[in-house]
A and B are shown apart, each in its own frame.
Chain A
Amino acid sequence: NAGVTQTPKFQVLKTGQSMTLQCAQDMNHEYMSWYRQDPGMGLRLIHYSVGAGITDQGEVPNGYNVSRSTTEDFPLRLLSAAPSQTSVYFCASSYLQAGANVLTFGAGSRLTVL
């Protein structure tokens, strides 16, 4: 049971480049989400999804795009990277049912934008 798998673990981009951070879970969780972690800021929610075909914005969605075509996958796209997007990104998933909706986190993807 792999849990939540994120790729890549590390990535360096130049300003203006695009890329996709991958997230996959094998627990049949309905809910998936992306957070970014910055020093002194804690974790902030970027986007989330409550099921295939359904996505919504979190606290800091600008500059990011998501889609949810399957239950298992929830990729995060940066269309034109900016230095302000240098961060550690965490994907997390859970069941939706109240009482079972405890997030399981991936190992993180460290992104540097030059």
Chain B
Amino acid sequence: AQSVSQHNHHVILSEAASLELGCNYSYGGTVNLFWYVQYPGQHLQLLLKYFSGDPLVKGIKGFEAEFIKSKFSFNLRKPSVQWSDTAEYFCAVRRGGGADGLTFGKGTHLIIQP
């Protein structure tokens, strides 16, 4: 079974700082990759996804992620964070083409200080 590892459980940044959240997965075959965000008290919302093609994907709110197949990684980036980016971020993977559920990482709690 695949697994997902998020390197940082808690990250604290100041506004305008750059962000990179690490995500590595264990499955060796074709994968679909996702980043979800959960704002305080809310449900999960999709930030961005990768199915195939250009390994650099852009999502909502200025986020992007790069799929590096050789490193089994899908790191999330944002050049300049805002206070409103305070949230929990989850990386998730599914075997490509499968109907299986997503396997989630344990999440990264991001706090942006004004």
Contact = CB atoms under 8 A, between A and B. Distances in A.
In this complex, the interface size class of chain B, counting residues with CB under 8 Å from chain A, is 20 to 34
Contacts of A15: none
B102 A98 contact: no
Interface string A95-106: 010110111011
B54 to A, nearest CB: 14
B43 A45 contact: no
B97 interface: yes
Contacts, number: 56
Interface residues of A, number: 25
B46 A42 contact: no
A45 B4 CA distance: 14
Interface in A55-114: 58-59, 90, 92, 96, 98-99, 101-103, 105-108
B43 A107 contact: yes
A48 B98 CA distance: 13
A31 to B, nearest CB: 6
Contact of A42 (B51, B101, B105): B105
A33 interface: yes
A48 B4 CA distance: 19
B42 interface: yes
Interface string B82-112: 0000000010101011011111111100000
Which 8 A-B pairs give the minimum distances between C-beta atoms? A45-B101, A42-B106, A42-B104, A43-B104, A105-B44, A105-B43, A107-B43, A50-B99
